[in-house]
Amino acid sequence: MKKITLTLILALALFSCEKENVTPTTQTTQPTTTLDCDCDRVVSSSSFNLPGGVSYGYWSTVNDCTNQTVNGQWSSSNGETRPVVGTCK
């Protein structure tokens, strides 16, 4: 009698469960950005003022495609202006 009761309880437990319908969720994707491989992005820039109104300084750039870093200097006596961080050089 115990075996029949346990079998009935087990059968009721298995067949009384309902299947839950799972709906797939859509993932939002980030927009892809196209890298400009011809752009050496200015990441740092410094400026020093000399007597006589002459300014000079140093700059660093990085190419986002190659990760190549370039360092250089600029001078207002050569007609150059201080590079702006975030722009292409």
Work out the end-to-end distance of the chain between its first and last CA atoms, rounded to an integer number of angstroms.
89
pLDDT at 2: 75
pLDDT at 5: 78
Question: Between vectors from CA 74 to CA 44 and to CA 62, what angle results, nearest 5°?
Answer: 35
pLDDT at 9: 75
This prediction has a pTM of: 0.58
Can you tell me the distance from the alpha carbon of 87 to that of 29, in angstroms, rounded to the nearest whole number? 27
pLDDT at 44: 96
SS3 7: helix
Residue 66 pLDDT greater than 70, yes or no: yes
Output 52 or 46, whichever has higher pLDDT.
Answer: 46
Per residue in 14-44, pLDDT (tens digit) is 666 666 777 777 777 777 777 888 899 999 9
